[in-house]
Amino acid sequence: MPDGTATTSFPKLNRAYNAVFQPGALSIGLVVPLDAHSNSPTPDMTRHIERAQLADALGFAALWLRDVPYNVPTFGDAGQMFDPFVYLGLLSGVTRDIALGVASVILPLRHPAHVAKAAASADQLSGGRLLLGVASGDRPEEYPALAMTFPDRGERFRDSLAYIRAMASDYPTYAGSHGALHGDMDMLPKPSAGRLPILITGGSQQSPEWIAAHGDGWMTYPRDVGAQGRLVADYRARSMSAGLSEKPVMQSLYVDLVEDADMQPQPIHLGFRSGVSFLKSYLAELQARGINHVALNLRFNQANIEDTMKRLADDLLPGFTTQGPLK
């Protein structure tokens, strides 16, 4: 079985996908809100625009938004609060080079026609900087609020993805549980590169074979480096066994960067508190196991956010770069 490290070219899609994901390389992004709010599910968004612009200026590869329709108290995380597609429109206008990703749109809670139109609009408005993560959702409380059922969300996820893919064609034809298109009308705009770069999140209630065959990449969660490497290798092997090219894999990671560069890691939720030396070595291990992008989440960071962003840029980005600004 392959070791997880890509050796060929990934598919060529839009500006963001081509720059953020490169075989054998690892790029670094940030999860918005760029705000520390460990004691509250809701962030302070007062400096969110300035911090997004700072991330762009410092050379981070991507900003990642989330789709959280409701603040569910038992879940303890309201995301960035803004609707992701409205927020993408704003960020498209106030940033220049950084990729703009959603990790991830909850497909069963949205009509795929609206997702397709909003995503293609954001892709066009940003000059091809959109990365669209999709998921089946993990908050059961949200589904009855939208007259949706939770157990069958996997089936609706598959139908939604097929509908969105069809929308990239001119005058598409499609029939499924979300509606029927008969080739007599079109949806505009089209994605900047002819199709949206879609990354499937986690399992999304699908088989590993289906995930490998239907996405343009895979988003997964932090875990032991060895286990992560085996999953990456398995994903790529399944993709290639389906006759497809290798595809990128990315993951999230919560970090709390301390001033002592040599501090060894202490566990926090889905990540660790450490000095920059350990973080750098950990990312290098992930790169060696085939991870192509890591989205750092600073929710639990105790130091000043702007200072931390600058330290990450100074100490990490020179060793984890792709091909520079999006072209």
What is the chain's pLDDT, residue by residue, as a tens digit (327 residues)? 334 444 578 999 999 999 999 999 999 999 998 999 888 889 988 899 999 999 999 999 999 999 999 999 888 888 889 999 999 999 999 999 999 999 999 999 999 999 999 999 999 999 999 999 999 998 999 999 999 999 999 999 999 999 999 999 999 999 999 999 999 999 999 999 999 999 999 999 999 999 999 999 999 999 999 999 999 999 999 998 888 989 999 999 999 999 999 999 999 999 999 999 999 999 999 999 999 999 999 999 999 999 999 999 999 999 997 554 455
Q: Smallest Cα–Cα separation from 135: which of 151, 154, 117, 120? A: 154
Q: Kind of pairing, strands 266-268 and 271-274?
A: antiparallel
- What is the distance between the alpha carbons of residues 17 and 123, in angstroms, rounded to a whole number? 11
Measured CA distances, 3 to 25, 104, 111, 279, 319 (Å): 14, 27, 38, 22, 21
For 134, the 3-state DSSP assignment is: strand
Instruction: Record the tokens describing residue 133, joined without a space.
Output: 């993560």
Residue 6 C-alpha from the chain's centroid: 19
Say if CB 245 and CB 287 are below 8 A apart: no
CB-hemisphere CA count at 13 Å for 155? 8
Strands (E), the chain: 27-31, 62-65, 99-106, 130-135, 173-176, 179-182, 198-201, 218-220, 249-257, 266-268, 271-274, 293-297
Tell me what pLDDT residue 291 has.
Answer: 98
End-to-end CA distance of the chain: 34
Which residues, at least 6 apart from 6, have a Cβ–Cβ distance to it below 8 Å? 23, 24, 236, 246, 248, 290, 292
Strands (E), 107-178: 130-135, 173-176
Tell me what pLDDT residue 326 has.
Answer: 56
Tell me what pLDDT residue 76 has.
Answer: 85
DSSP type of residue 55: H
Say if CB 119 and CB 164 are below 8 A apart: yes
Tell me what pLDDT residue 47 has.
Answer: 93
Instruction: Record the tokens describing residue 49, joined without a space.
Output: 């625009």
252 beta partners? 295
Instruction: Record the tokens describing residue 57, joined without a space.
Output: 């200026």
- What is the distance between the alpha carbons of residues 176 and 115, in angstroms, rounded to a whole number? 16
Say if CB 308 and CB 296 are below 8 A apart: no
**Count of H-run helices and E-run strands, the chain:** 10, 12
